[in-house]
Amino acid sequence: MAPESTSPLRRLLATREASVVGALIVTVIAASFWIEGFATGRNTGFLILDIAAIALIALPMTLIVITGEIDLSVASTLGLTSAVMGQLWVMGLPLETIVPLCVVLGAVLGAVNGLLVTVAGLPSLAVTIGTMALYRGLAYVVLGDRAVADFPFSWTGGATARIGETQIPWVVLLVIGLAVVFGVVLHATPVGRALYAIGNNDEAARFSGISVRMTKLWLFVASGAVSAVAGVFWTLQYSSARADNAAGLELSVVAAVLLGGVSIFGGSGALAGVIGGVLLLGTIRNALQLADVSSDTLSIVTGLLLVISVVAPNVVTRLKERRRATAPPPDRAAADSSPSSSPTVPAPSKR
Amino acid sequence: MSTPTTAPSPQVQEHGGGDAKAGRRLRQVREVGILLALVLLIVVTTVVNPNFLSAQSLRDLLLGATLLTILAVGQTLVIVTRSVDLSVGSILGLTAFAVGSLFIAFPNLPIPVVAVAGVLIGAVCGAVNGALVAAARVPALVVTLGTLYVFRGVDHWLAGGRQINAADMPGPFLALGRATVLGIPVLALVAVVVVAAVGWYLSSYRSGRELYAIGSEPAAARLSGISVDRRIFAAFVANGALAGLAGVLYAARFGTLDATVGTGLELQVVAAAVVGGVAIFGGSGTVLGAALGAVLLTTIGSALPILRVDGFWQQAVVGLLILIAIGMDRLLAVRAERRLRGGESRGA
């Protein structure tokens, strides 16, 4: 009994990531059966384009949330980048120069967040609510309520171009490439381990020699830079630079990250779960839209999914605790003595 | 989220016996600071354009600040307990539309009944949030991010693409939105009453003080016998009810309602509270401060065009103000901590 219940496969299946991926598979199968036009290459292409920006920004956001911080300014960084891109284009700069400048700008905006959090020691939730308003405001200062839409087709068409003869847009390669980079950093390097350590206990991490401040600073820089990349992509994809581009997207990104099983208090979560969360949210939205379900049901589903995904594991843990408390003592002693019986459901961090 | 920054220090002072006075002084410094900023802004704007201080424009200013003030007061109740409620914009939208629908469905319903119904709908929404946070122990940020979508979805479902116009609502109800007593708008008086009542409750009632205790250290609050879950639940219900009240007032003031009313308002509300000195991680801050924050944000909005600052700057200025406010709080906290540490060494 005991070895079976703790076999690597069983443990893997019990993780949060597995349940998100499971839900994703069920959704895809169900949608393919019942919803006309879902399981087509064309639709898959649209779905990927739709979620590309969220997927990109969710990558650094995952790492930030794991360290116990949050960045709510990402959508405003995207908007400001888009506005600056439009303004520079109007001023006659070539896009080859504009795009790198935009990414640098994003990194600088991220660095401002990072410095306020690490050097000034301010809570990231409050800082990034402030910079969310500031960056979005600056976007309006730069571009006003104008829209710049005359980007050359070689660029706008390129942003939505498909790979060869398939219907898959090339941007998927960008997402996968960055996902691999962030995944490797998080799960296969000392830096990644440090992120979990910081999220679990900031102070203990510092005493164990981790440079908490530098780590967090670089995460915010990465978040800004990736948001800027998403901004460039967004602008080209919709062929429109506007100050209000992607307004409110930060909530979708945070929702996807939390749905993917990252604890809002930091210290736990995996990138695979987050990618599953992004895909799950995107697929459900896409399927419901194809099924002509109105947008109100869409937002109800998004919200319920988020709440249930967090409530359910909590309830399961509490039920288990109760059962363990009422179980006969020998059982408990056996469970305690066997070293391999680690709890399959990760206990939520208590605060 | 782990931040040993702004929240603890003022609280430390309150428990520090003789330093309670210092804690009070700190909060007063904070409120006087906002008040000074507000006065400065009004003076400068009036110098540029004397009409800014006319009775009519002051009335508009008060009216404009009403909704944000009421929401910021409710948000303070929640933030003080180390939670946050991001769903208030959706609750306001939902109740506003529900109030309009009630008038259409039952044209003969007395206005007070409809108003109470609106407040109750808000309270029910708040109870959903509170139950999930307190009973299921889910972080408030996550819960209310979820219910932000859910309540907005219900609002859309209720509206079904329709729009409610002023003609659909009874005249006396809409007149309430424009009525004045001694030259002061009735809606602003409602906000003043809310600020006074909640402020008095938070500072003078045992259960009000317990909200601060919960926010400064939930575990300690629980150990000292405070029914933490019940208090947090109640804070969310009260916040929901206030958001419901704001929804009713919105319907009376604007008359035109659709499913997008109040979208994105949650962040302005949190901003008002933070600018007003309510620490985002709980345990400190006053209702008066939050209300002043709301008035300051609204005043900036109407002063900028007069100062011939491009209207596009408004949001950037608000963002800057939030950063300055939390920076100031941090500075004050660090100073207080240093002073406290000095006091300790003398004691030892």
Structural domains of chain A in order of their starting residue, each with its CATH number:
2-337 (1.10.3470)
Using CB atoms, pick whichever of A144, A264, A296 lies closest to residue B312: A144
pLDDT digits (tens, 9 = 90+) for B12-22: 444 444 455 65
Q: Is the pLDDT of residue B348 over 60?
A: no
List C-alpha distances in Å: B89 to A236, B94, B97, B244: 32, 9, 12, 10
The structural domains of chain B, with segments of one domain joined by +, span 8-343
Q: Scanning every residue of chain B, which has its alpha carbon at the shortest distance from the alpha carbon of A113?
A: B323
Distance CA B342, CA B23 (A): 16
Put simply, the answer to whether B1 touches A69 (Cβ < 8 Å) is: yes
Put simply, the answer to whether B322 touches A133 (Cβ < 8 Å) is: yes
- Per-residue pLDDT band for B8 (boundaries 50, 70, 90) equals very low
Put simply, the answer to whether A133 touches B2 (Cβ < 8 Å) is: no
Q: Is the pLDDT of residue B3 over 50?
A: no
Distance from CA of B57 to the nearest CA of A (A): 25
Q: Mean of the per-residue pLDDT values for chain B?
A: 82
Selection from A97-106, B188-197, B312-321 with the highest mean pLDDT: A97-106
Residue type, A37: G
- A132 interfacial to chain B (CB closer than 8 Å): yes
User: Under DSSP, is residue B120 helix (H, G, I), strand (E, B) or coil?
Assistant: helix
pLDDT for position A292: 79
The DSSP H or E segment spanning B203 is helix B186-204
Chain B CB contacts of A266 below 8 Å: 1-2
Residue holding tokens 């150990």?
A: B223
- What is the full DSSP assignment across A264-311? TTSS---HHHHHHHHHHHHHHHHHHHHTT--HHHHHHHHHHHHHHHHH
Distance from CA of B152 to the nearest CA of A (A): 7
The DSSP H or E segment spanning B303 is helix B287-306
What's B282's DSSP letter?
S
Chain B CB contacts of A138 below 8 Å: 316
pLDDT for position B74: 93
- Per-residue pLDDT band for B343 (boundaries 50, 70, 90) equals low
pLDDT for position A329: 53
Using CB atoms, pick whichever of A134, A203, A300 lies closest to residue B149: A300
pTM: 0.80
Distance CA B94, CA B101 (A): 10
For residue A46, give the nearest of A153, A173, A172, A229 by alpha carbon.
Answer: A172
Positions of chain A with pLDDT under 70:
1-6, 9-14, 295-296, 327-351
Query: Is this complex scored with an ipTM above 0.85?
Result: no
pLDDT for position B71: 94
- CATH number of the domain at B8-343, please? 1.10.3470
Other C-beta atoms closer than 10 Å to the C-beta of B40 total 10
Q: Is the pLDDT of residue B318 over 90?
A: no
Put simply, the answer to whether B137 touches A348 (Cβ < 8 Å) is: yes
- A77 interfacial to chain B (CB closer than 8 Å): no
Name the percent of chain B lying above pLDDT 70: 89
Using CB atoms, pick whichever of A137, A299, A314 lies closest to residue B137: A314
Q: Scanning every residue of chain A, which has its alpha carbon at the shortest distance from the alpha carbon of B87?
A: A303
pLDDT digits (tens, 9 = 90+) for B22-33: 556 666 677 788
Put simply, the answer to whether B153 touches A132 (Cβ < 8 Å) is: no
- A121 interfacial to chain B (CB closer than 8 Å): yes
List C-alpha distances in Å: B278 to B80, B84, B140, B285, B318: 7, 11, 17, 4, 16
- ∠ CA A255-A65-A57, nearest 5°, is 60
pLDDT for position A55: 95
Chain A CB contacts of B313 below 8 Å: 137, 140-141
For residue A82, give the nearest of A157, A142, A169, A154 by alpha carbon.
Answer: A142
Put simply, the answer to whether A130 touches B317 (Cβ < 8 Å) is: no
Put simply, the answer to whether B327 touches A265 (Cβ < 8 Å) is: no
Other C-beta atoms closer than 10 Å to the C-beta of A211 total 14
A-B C-beta contacts closer than 8 Å: 175
The residue-averaged pLDDT of B304-312 equals 76
Using CB atoms, pick whichever of A125, A201, A314 lies closest to residue B136: A314
pLDDT for position B244: 94
